[in-house]
Amino acid sequence: MGMKIFSVFFFALLFLASPFLQVARCQSEAEADVAEAVEGGDLGIVGEDVQDFGDPNYSSAPEVKTVCVFPKNSAKCPFYSELCRFQFSGMTVSRSLKRQSPTAAGNTATWFLDKCRNMSSRPSTRFMASLLLLLFYSLADSFADLPSQFQAQQELTDINKSTILPTCPCRRAATLLEMDSKNGNKCPKNITEASQIRHGLTLLDADFFNDIKVLEIAKGAKEFNIPIIRTNRKLVASINGGLHNPSPLVFNPEWSKEQSQGKASRFNHPSASGIQRPINEEDIAFMSVLELGELIKKKQITSEELTGIFLKRLRRYNPVLESVVTYTEDLAYQQAKEADKLLSQGVHLGPLHGIPYGLKDIISVPLYKTTWGSTTFKNQVLNIEAWVYKRLKSAGAVLVAKLVTGSLAYDDIWFGGRTRNPWNIEEFSTGSSAGPAACTSAGMIPFAIGSETAGSITYPASRCGVTALRPTFGSVGRTGVMSLSESLDKLGPFCRNAADCAVILDAIRGEDPDDLSSRDIPFGDPFSVDITKLTVGYLDDADMEVVHVLESKGVKVVPFKLNYTVDSVQGILNFTMDVDMLAHFDEWQRSGKDDDYEAQDQWPVELRRARVVSAVDYLQAQRARGKLIQEVKENFNVDAFIGNATDWERVCMGNLVGLPVIVVPTGFKNIPNPPPTGTRRRTTVNTGIYAPPNHDHIALALAMAYQSATNHHKQRPPIDDLGPNDTIPNHPTVPIPPRRLHM
């Protein structure tokens, strides 16, 4: 008897609860359909939203968590079909809202709801509904265990929003999501707008606001932010590469105030005594700056004659290497004649007196094009005398050419082609200081000035087998130089050897009154450093020949690891560089000039992505950068360390922290798949010597000590047997490593 009563009661309860069971099954099937559609790419996900709908009449309602999906392809209405999952007190239910046909009632929608089920308006029915609701809560967790024969078939039930139970906590949701009764088959305007804005906020990782807050954000942005943005852009934005209106926010890499104390003094350059002029021009072309300076000082050669030798080599090999943008021949001979005249009057300006050189073509020189390597700017003439050019001119140096930069200081592709490596013309130089590296390596110039934001000195120097210095940030002024990032950009020399790098650094360093980041750093004299008092660490990837040579010269060498916990170093650099550059090239991008960029997989992609980095996230990246600097400082317990110069993580870390590094050639290896007839082409091997900020003299002294015992830096690439008519493969036969950010 008891069993019969229980059975009757159970089936009666089941009958009354069948609508809820339908909901449970429909929910499960709907969610499965949605999951399949999302996976198949037919639906897009709007996001998650925790909200209480802001309705004071329902302040006691629990928070509602929604996860909505919608069709990606619908020309008339992007929210044609929407499935949202609601959570009430831990119980998940679903609701499907479909756009009705024009003939359907404007306020009618299709719903699957547990608590918002239409029970009709009769009091008795409402009482029963409330009772069943309580029973439903008690059984909600067991629905999944019910036998399949008790689960009702899916049934779509149309209900009018006005008949939803007044006590339903999601009534406000129904009001927000109701269809526009005046427009019939159109999506609700306010929800469409909020959803679209929220979808955009996902790109900023800021899609956590509810609809009311999203619309508030949109209103504030339109009425407050955008007018300010446009006013500021009108004041300072142009497509000038950051030449004017620099940011007053200054990055200083110094680890202590003691580093900047003291008066900066010039280096005590050694003289290359006993040097005699070689018979042939080829040997002259590969002499060091100090050696050439001695020839000029002793009047064994004139600056004008030396200028002619290097201009001839530039014109001979440029068709092979594609490394020169502009020959400054008239200016060069004018400056060379002036240098010879001064010397005849007994005036010698120093080791650079009368020495030819080249500038990366992001450095402006009046009356000559400064193209930035870009089709957009290939006819640009800037009547600005760059600070570094002024310094070299005052030292008596002779500018013979503007050298290739990758387009807008990225890699080695420019509007005139792609620069090649003199050691193996079937591969490219990398960049973006492509021309300075290739021309110095090929003996087309004695030295050149390049720049680095993230690898633009270290990578091409390593590929082309030359010695190059990336100095401490702020040691060389940047007025008149195209800017990528004001807290990362640095200018540095490409030379035959480390001693030449020291000579060039001494000539170009100092405070630039128009560059707020520049400082007159009191470097020690690299020519007088006692290296036997130094402790030098070596990383796992260090070239051990360098370690052994320095050890043989009395340097204490120890294994070393530079530990830090910041795991987003590469991302910090990307945020910093990309956002800074976009600020400089905002109008360039807005005017569609990025469509003309030479390599569409480079800057255009980077800068479009930078458009959705928020100011908050940019500043968070700078705070993380500060943490990195502190950790590197605390763990830098040696005077310098030796390691691979092209490790990407290390390139990013070094530039963010402001570490100086000198790249030195350490040998050669065979190229992959050499021709059966043999070849002189080689792959260069190199290493980097790193020092703390403001200690460039330590790295230079160690590099000079190593090069005094080796001759890798004196080797000449096989470019000497190539002429303008040599055939170069359209595509390199040697695989080129995937492109990285080389600025």
CA 276, 666, 492, 697 dihedral sign is: negative
Regarding beta strands 413-414 and 398-403, do their DSSP bridges make them parallel or antiparallel, or are they unpaired?
unpaired
Closest of 616, 374, 326 to residue 484, by C-alpha: 374
Cβ(323)–Cβ(403) below 8 Å: yes
**Buried-state track 152-170, b at ≥16 Cβ within 10 A, e below 16:** beeeeeebebeebbeebbb
Closest of 340, 257, 246 to residue 301, by C-alpha: 340
Measured between alpha carbons, how far is 373 from 620 in angstroms, rounded to an integer? 33
Cβ(665)–Cβ(686) below 8 Å: yes
Closest of 392, 323, 385 to residue 360, by C-alpha: 323
How many CB atoms are closer than 10 A to CB 11?
A: 11
SS3 at position 205: coil
How many CB atoms are closer than 10 A to CB 383?
A: 9
DSSP 506: H
Measured between alpha carbons, how far is 324 from 330 in angstroms, rounded to an integer? 16
Q: For residue 82, give Cα distances in angstroms to 72, 97, 171.
A: 11, 5, 17
Measured between alpha carbons, how far is 493 from 502 in angstroms, rounded to an integer? 9
The full DSSP string for 264-298 is: -----PPP-TT----SSHHHHHTS-HHHHHHHHHT
Closest of 654, 646, 459 to residue 573, by C-alpha: 654
Measured between alpha carbons, how far is 331 from 393 in angstroms, rounded to an integer? 11
Residue type, 677: T
SS3 at position 263: coil
**Buried-state track 69-98, b at ≥16 Cβ within 10 A, e below 16:** bbeeeeeeebbbbbbbbbebeeeebbbbbb
The first and second tokens of residue 293, run together, are 């300076």
- Please write down the long-range contacts of 33-36, taking CB distance under 8 Å and 24 or more positions apart: 34/69, 34/83
The first and second tokens of residue 711, run together, are 């001759």
Measured between alpha carbons, how far is 11 from 285 in angstroms, rounded to an integer? 102
DSSP 88: E
Is 360 a catalytic site residue?
Answer: yes
The first and second tokens of residue 352, run together, are 């650079």
Please count the residues of the chain: 743
First to last CA, the chain: 88
**Helices in 369-408 by DSSP H: which ranges?**
387-394
Omega cis (within 30) before 432 = yes
In 561-639, where do the E strands start and end?
A: none
Q: Which among 374, 456, 462, 487 is annotated as catalytic?
A: 456
Cβ(373)–Cβ(411) below 8 Å: no
Q: Which among 96, 288, 303, 360 is annotated as catalytic?
A: 360
Is 432 a catalytic site residue?
Answer: yes
Q: Which among 94, 432, 485, 487 is annotated as catalytic?
A: 432
Strand partners, 685: 667
Q: Which residues contact 625 (CB under 8 A, 6 or more apart)?
A: 572, 576, 656
Measured between alpha carbons, how far is 115 from 121 in angstroms, rounded to an integer? 15
Is 4 a catalytic site residue?
Answer: no
Cβ(355)–Cβ(446) below 8 Å: yes
Closest of 42, 63, 67 to residue 51, by C-alpha: 63
Measured between alpha carbons, how far is 722 from 320 in angstroms, rounded to an integer? 8
Q: Which residues are catalytic?
A: 360, 432, 456
